[in-house]
Structure 1
Amino acid sequence: MKLFASAAEMRPVPRSEGFRNGGVSYWYREEGTPERRASLQGDAEYDVCVVGAGFTGLWTAYYLAEADPGLRVAVVEREFAGHGAAGRGAGLVTAHFPGPREELARRRGKGAVIALQRALMAAVDEVVAVAEKEDLDTGAVKGGMRTTATNTAQKERLTAEVAWLQEWGFWPEDLYVDGDGRAYTPHAADLDPVRLARGLAEAVERGGVEVFEGTPVTAVAPGGADGPAAVTPFGTVRARTLILATEGFPAPGAEAWPTESCAMIATEPLEEGLWEEIGWDGREMRADAAHRPAFARRTPDGRLAVGGRGALPRGGAQGEAGTAPPQAIAELWRALAGMFPEAADVPIAHAWTGPVGAPADRAPVLTLDRETGVGVAGGYGRFGMALSNVVGRTLRDTVLERRTELVRLPWSDLEGTKSPRLRRIGRQVARGLYRGADKRETSRLTGTSRLATVAERLSPKGTAE
């Protein structure tokens, strides 16, 4: 039993005078949320209608317009491009794959899972390349991801985790442990996610796609004689193919999956001397090797942004406003203090949350029913930047009936999104146990806590992040 709290646990979270909680996210702090594009004006017909102007919807529209300029494509968005998970994340483009690889391998074969992992690595380069090609001012830097163990148990797990991942598509040159016991992968980049979302919306418009903002979809009708339809207060959109890419904000009438809110914090800008003391030029991203890992990046204006912990059930945070609960802010600050003790006194300037899709099996979802003409995509958890790009290209090939490697990747279906009550409870209990395991392992010199072993039984590897 732990008798004494750590220094970080006893200290109040340092906050700046201008501390802000919510307001969508830090990425909107300076420029504010954009003016909405025009709403839909009356009934309309298209070849493809995408509901949701997040990364999945925008990448899908982008690649469809690029592949077939004659295709009539529309994007319908309730708020504005980048309002949802796209504008609330950390801007980390990583090859991380959520979900239990073993289960997908049983369904589709290990080779298919490895192919998906390799596709995610390539997607990191693809996202950066498109940003450069379209002249999007995202500040993209591909510096890789370095994971550092902060205690004995983490060191043991990190070495084992790297060896395990090298059996699932990360070859030794893609992920390895260096001489200091830190894991590194070059397949990661960071950028400004809001500028990417805004830039992609402008790029798809240049490609002939119509983007309607401030247009909520109030009902979804499956395919009939005239194809599926998205009903809005301003008119009905009919299309041969209707893609639902709303993730944490499902359209009424569409099948919804479980969501959770993920929190983040950003500090005030650090002085250059403090960055030098930390020993980090900011080009690479950082993470720890906890059961519930935290990740950090250096923002273009010199702040530390930390996320990863503090995930809550959908009802645990204000998903629309982006308000982070005090306990999530405190947990993230403790992670920051543990990873960068030199920066523990830097005030927190901004905190926020965003809802993300969290399927029961944690495997990304992509389906397109040819009979109804309705497709659904999402469910990436915290790791949607590269996944959404792969999904967008896969939907392009699926809609255009191309026989490519992408359409053979092992995506999950809607059945995998369903989460029985007992399974949801088990996952929540597992999170609490992992939290306790991380605390115990910080204060001891032995291996993995038994709490983590119990948590693993309640929620298999990859499903409780």
Structure 2
Amino acid sequence: MSLDKIRLMSDFLRGGANQSHGRSVSAKGKHRMEVVIPNTSAEKLSGGSILNRSRSHWWNTSDSYQPSAPLVGQADVDVCIVGGGINGLSTAYHLKKLEPSLEVALLEAEVVGFGASGRNAGQIIMKFGGTSPERLVGSYGAERAREAWNYIHRGIALIQDLRLDEDIDCDYANTGTMNVCLRIEGDGHVDEAMRLMERMGQSQYVAYVESERVEQELGSNQFGAAYHESRGGQFNPLKLVRGLKRAAERRGARVYENSPVASIDTTENLMTLHTGLGVIRCKKLVLATNAFTHLLPGARRLGLAREQTPLMVKGVITQPLSPQQWERVGWPRRAGINIHSDLFYSFAPTADGRILYVGGYYTSAPWDRNLAPEIDTRLKRVGPDHLAAFFPALYGVGVAQTWGGPISITPDWIPHVGEARDPRILYACGCWGNGMPCGMQNGRTLAELALGKHTENADAWFVTRKKRKWPSRILAAFLAKGVIRKRHVANRRIGGRMTPPLRFPR
């Protein structure tokens, strides 16, 4: 069968899953979600899935890539993983590393790195889900916050070790991150973060940077004080994901791309997953589908329909800066910059001499199954003016591309990882757009859970706890949209006080 026909079948299944009516069928000892696929025109099928219309900078500048063959026929494995992002690939890699005799297969509906793992802003950040140190300590206490922060610390170390052990060239630069205040808001956020870092036992990794030095280093009078987090830095996420796939395959894991799951059957002894061209039977199932979790066939029956909801995040990357432009800009640390404010912006240099920036104002909450739009022309239009307002030396630097993609958010602001309603089924979601170190560590945690191990990861409080869910799929989108509207108001208010002011199109 040709690759075009395989992709046509994949698009057909995705289109059907997104527009079909499903019904749960049960029989003695067996549950199945049947998907009824309506008639679809060939013209619609040939268009591909909606996210393919906006490929990331990482994809557009990557080496040519040949996807693995899709699943054809039947396969029996010990563990099947659904999802070819950082969570799923890390799970496959660590399962084979911890227990080489296991039969492990991974199913990816598109190609590895198709979701947030291949679309993100290229920063490895010390952050646990969507929480700030203030929120984490305030909600869960200093001891649990320390455990969560150390989980991400181990995730960063895991990325650093794995790229060396498996010879993965992902343009990694251990520059750390500058977390800055806006001058018009004062230095309170940074001062409080420094106090909480000490309470969480993290003070050896952070350094306070006075506002005068921040202005000198960054060439901007918009920022107040900052703290520099030494862990993490910049990298090419798609190179990391593809390298992790190769590493998992070298250890014996089977990766099937263009293999969307159409149904999941569960019996007392086995779970069976049907794709367009094949069937996999497994004893353990790992759902590493993050922002796509609610789209899984049978998600409601599995208890995962309300676990998370997606947000669409958009970013812009500039044309390459000349050496003279970099000299005017400064940035001697070449660290990514994240603003501590309701007016959220993130800036990061790339290995090819560009600046990638993400604007929180342009986040959107899609309705349930409609993960669109993945680009925002307003950000492309006003982004250069905002960039120059923060960094005057960048005035006139052109935009090369804008793109976006879905991230996964949870109602309690922290990642969800652990057992589903059926303890043979494990899952991970809700990395809040900070998922590379978290996802890498989640993969190791899921592997340890699948093997029945009691470890520092598997026994962590956020793994074993009862997870908070969204009240309903519809309410999840309404609540997310409400938060976004509130942020829009705050962005316009704060931006209007800046000099020069930031203007946001309504």
Gaps of at least 5 residues in structure 2 are: 1-51, 212-224, 499-506
Contact 2:205 2:229 in 1 (8 A): yes
Which of 237, 240, 243 in structure 1 is aligned with 2:280?
Answer: 237
Corresponding position of 2:190: 158
Higher deviation after alignment, 231-240 or 170-179: 170-179
Which of 48, 69, 72 in structure 2 is aligned with 1:41?
Answer: 72
- Following the alignment from structure 2 to structure 1, what is the Cα–Cα distance between the partners of residues 166 and 432? 27
Contact 1:264 1:332 in 2 (8 A): no
Q: How far is 1:237 from its partner?
A: 1.0
Corresponding position of 2:125: 94
- Following the alignment from structure 1 to structure 2, what is the Cα–Cα distance between the partners of residues 239 and 332? 48
| 1:214 and 2:214 aligned | no
Contact 2:359 2:379 in 1 (8 A): no
Contact 1:65 1:204 in 2 (8 A): yes
Change (3 A) 1:193 1:121: same
| 1:388 and 2:420 aligned | no
Higher deviation after alignment, 327-336 or 231-240: 327-336
Higher deviation after alignment, 123-132 or 426-435: 426-435
Q: How far is 1:291 from its partner?
A: 1.3
Corresponding position of 1:402: 453
Aligned CA-pair RMSD: 2.9
Q: What is the TM-score normalised by the length of structure 1?
A: 0.83
Change (3 A) 1:436 1:158: farther
Which of 68, 77, 85 in structure 1 is aligned with 2:108?
Answer: 77
1:449-460 aligned within 5 A: none
Opposite residue 325 of structure 1, the aligned amino acid is: D
Q: How far is 1:203 from its partner?
A: 0.7
- Following the alignment from structure 1 to structure 2, what is the Cα–Cα distance between the partners of residues 434 and 163? 26
Corresponding position of 1:313: 365
| 1:296 and 2:370 aligned | no
Instruction: Find the residue that maps to 1:177 and give its secondary structure.
Output: strand
Opposite residue 262 of structure 1, the aligned amino acid is: V
1:28-427 aligned within 5 A: 28-31=59-62, 34-99=65-130, 110-167=142-199, 169=200, 171-180=202-211, 181-222=225-266, 224-250=267-293, 251-254=296-299, 255-256=304-305, 257-281=308-332, 283-309=334-360, 310-315=362-367, 319=371, 323-330=374-381, 332-369=383-420, 371-411=422-462, 415-420=467-472, 424-427=477-480
- Following the alignment from structure 1 to structure 2, what is the Cα–Cα distance between the partners of residues 334 and 46? 54
Greater relative CO, 1 or 2 (CA 8 Å, sep 6+): 1
Contact 1:123 1:386 in 2 (8 A): yes
- Following the alignment from structure 2 to structure 1, what is the Cα–Cα distance between the partners of residues 139 and 458? 15
- Following the alignment from structure 1 to structure 2, what is the Cα–Cα distance between the partners of residues 419 and 386? 29
Change (3 A) 1:292 1:245: farther
Change (3 A) 1:77 1:154: farther
Change (3 A) 1:249 1:107: same
Instruction: Find the residue that maps to 1:184 and give its secondary structure.
Output: strand
- Following the alignment from structure 1 to structure 2, what is the Cα–Cα distance between the partners of residues 418 and 333? 37
Contact 1:144 1:184 in 2 (8 A): yes
Corresponding position of 1:463: none
Change (3 A) 1:183 1:104: closer
Q: How far is 1:348 from its partner?
A: 0.7
Identity in percent: 25
- Following the alignment from structure 2 to structure 1, what is the Cα–Cα distance between the partners of residues 160 and 383? 28
Instruction: Find the residue that maps to 1:71 and give its secondary structure.
Output: coil
Q: What is the TM-score normalised by the length of structure 2?
A: 0.77
Instruction: Find the residue that maps to 1:39 and give its secondary structure.
Output: coil
